[in-house]
Chains A and B, each alone.
Chain A
Amino acid sequence: MASKGKVLVIDDDPDFCEFMRIGLESDGFEVLTAANGKIGLELMRREKPNLVFLDVVMAHPTEGVDVTAMIKEDPELWDIPIIMLTSIMDTEYIGHFPTDKPLPIDQFLTKPVPMAEVLRIANETVGAKS
């Protein structure tokens, strides 16, 4: 089966990466995973994915946010759609966000996201781009 598109999952939780891989692959996507922002950026530059799922809170509370900033500064990467995922649920962590500027992301989802929702978004976003 031909790949519907390349999806990159950046998350420091290996289980979460694996579950995303299994779900997305079962729907015909090619899936790459990265355990941190640095590896994620390298993979983006090398593999040019069609869509990125990015976790906000990794080793540092704002690692995900920092990654988005670097993506949008890179002319080769800036048009790759980014879906931000988080398990943030209180204002204490939200306080880490740079509230003075809008986040350069396409959508913001709270974990756990039902796989149906993940696939719907992936199909819509990648379909619209290609």
Chain B
Amino acid sequence: MIDLHPLKLELVERISWLIRLRWVAVASTLAGIAVARLVEPALPVLPLVLVTATIAFYNALFVLYARSLWRRRGTGLRRRRSPTFIAVQIVLDLLALTALLHFSGGIENPFGVFLLFHVIIASILLSRLASFGVALLASTLYAGLAFSELAGWLPHIHLPQLADPWRYANLIYVAAQVTAIALTLLPAAAMASSVAERLRRRTQELLQANQVCEINRSELADVNERLRQLDAARTQFIVMVAHELRAPMGAIISALNLVLGGYAPPEKQREVLERAQARAYELLDLIRDLLELVRARRIEGPAQGVPVRTEKVLENVLGLLRVEAESKGLSIEVKVAPDLPPVIATEDQLRSVWTNLISNAIKYNRPGGRLTITLTQDGDQVVGAVEDTGIGIAREDMPRLFEEFFRSTQAKAMVQRGTGVGLAIVKRTVESYGGRVWAESELGKGSKFSFSLPKAPDELATASLEDKQELS
């Protein structure tokens, strides 16, 4: 993986570039020798060609080595060995250039400045320290060549057409030339490597910035999508609420129109108005549900409650919903464990939890089905559950069950009207008292909704019970 890092990959690519460049250098050198021979008959062609052949030979070896290195993909070997490989190539190139210079007039040869190329290549491909090393080596080799010829340790090959025959033996000239070369190579290494380094750093920064941008972009897209869905759900909710409000409102207006317009005979007027009143209450219930949802949504952190007896609230709720259940032919089974502790909540909220769960179980049950309500204690939690034998919930709908405004596909198909708010209220309410809600379901078989609420602390529970006894 790291092996594919763009910067490292670039280094690997540069090795091929260096090898290709060397083939060009070999060809140019041969051409240069041919041209120079025409101008300068004293040029010793054989040693020059031999050195050039040596360059071609080791370049061929480099090609083979590079291939074997490429094949070991992903081992990290390529990455670790590449800088050393480049350094070896540059050192060999410097030696070869020095040899070429020696056979073509030494210090008399103006092509000594070619050493600069190697320094620049090293600066681009290697570290700053390594490029300084290369500059120093190049300067040393040049100085070594010049002074060896000056001292007579190496034979000097004089090129009469090119320079004054004794120039190579002029100490001042040699010193000046060597200094000029060294003073060119070392600052060149500094400049080129600092530029190269800055480029590398910039590239690295850009790559990182790009990655960060990429991450931010996908996060933003996610957030945007969630907001869009929420907004769509809200809009749909408003439309749904408007429809829901319109039905009872229409009925109330029709009733009033009937009475005020004198279309209802006196003995029917009371019935009409009573029906209108019931629809007005229906409207009020709907509005209360909406407000309850808004309130449940606003609660941040633990809510303030009092000790409440879950089984008492359940009894009340069942008293109200039993008729509805029986009209659908449902059999209701209630199993309440004895001596349940009270929980912390408000009676209103607990009633809304039970009402929502039980009326769902009635609404989405099959006619003649079963309704099982259990209330037990599990450690310091009171656990309530409502199980039905209804339509059930598809697996893909389960995670969204407690989302506001969400209604499952099956629920929509079975009961057209519904705000999709009930379970959201249950979840918000129970969780605001440190409880938990969960659902189990099998499509077509039925569903079981459960909630747990922490029991009230003992001292609170006894205090509240004593209050009640004093009151009664």
Q: Which residue of A lies closest to B251 (CB)?
A: A15
Beyond A15-B255, A15-B275, A59-B416, list 6 extra A-B contacts (CB 8 Å).
A13-B251, A15-B279, A16-B250, A92-B239, A112-B253, A114-B257
Query: Is B85 part of the binding interface, using a Cβ–Cβ cutoff of 8 Å?
Result: no
Query: Separation in Å of the A112 CB from the closest CB of chain B?
Result: 4
Residue of A16, A87, A89, A115 touching B261 (CB-CB under 8 A): A115
Query: Is A111 part of the binding interface, using a Cβ–Cβ cutoff of 8 Å?
Result: yes
Query: Is A104 part of the binding interface, using a Cβ–Cβ cutoff of 8 Å?
Result: no
Residues of chain B with a CB closer than 8 A to A92's CB: 239
Q: Which of A18-26, A31-39, A40-48 contacts B (4 or more CB under 8 A)?
A: A18-26
How many residues belonging to B are interface residues under a CB distance threshold of 8 Å? 24
Known: A18-B275, A60-B416. A13 touches B247 (CB 8 A): yes
Give 8 nearest A-B pairs by CB, closest first. Answer: A112-B250, A23-B263, A112-B253, A15-B251, A115-B263, A111-B250, A112-B254, A19-B254
B242 touches A89 (CB 8 A): yes
Residues of chain A with a CB closer than 8 A to B276's CB: 15
Docked CA distance A111–B268 (Å) = 22
- A50-97 residues at the B interface, CB under 8 angstroms: 57, 59-61, 87, 89-90, 92-93
Query: Is A2 part of the binding interface, using a Cβ–Cβ cutoff of 8 Å?
Result: no
Q: Which residue of B lies closest to A61 (CB)?
A: B416
Query: Is A128 part of the binding interface, using a Cβ–Cβ cutoff of 8 Å?
Result: no
Query: Is A116 part of the binding interface, using a Cβ–Cβ cutoff of 8 Å?
Result: yes
Docked CA distance A59–B412 (Å) = 10
Residues of chain A with a CB closer than 8 A to B279's CB: 15
A115 touches B272 (CB 8 A): no
Q: Which residue of A lies closest to B264 (CB)?
A: A22
Docked CA distance A110–B433 (Å) = 46
A22 touches B258 (CB 8 A): yes
Chain B 242-271, CB-CB to A under 8 Å as 1, else 0, gives 110011001101110110010111001001
Residue of B239, B243, B264 touching A87 (CB-CB under 8 A): B243
Query: Separation in Å of the B416 CB from the closest CB of chain A?
Result: 6
Query: Separation in Å of the A94 CB from the closest CB of chain B?
Result: 12
A19 touches B258 (CB 8 A): yes
Docked CA distance A114–B247 (Å) = 15
A-B contact pairs, 27 of them (CB 8 A): A18-B272, A19-B275, A22-B258, A22-B263, A22-B264, A22-B268, A22-B272, A23-B258, A23-B263, A26-B263, A26-B264, A59-B416, A60-B416, A87-B243, A89-B243, A89-B246, A90-B242, A92-B239, A111-B250, A112-B251, A112-B253, A112-B254, A113-B254, A115-B254, A115-B261, A115-B263, A116-B261
Query: Separation in Å of the A64 CB from the closest CB of chain B?
Result: 13
Query: Separation in Å of the B244 CB from the closest CB of chain A?
Result: 11
Docked CA distance A15–B272 (Å) = 8
Residues of chain A with a CB closer than 8 A to B246's CB: 87, 89, 111
Docked CA distance A126–B20 (Å) = 101
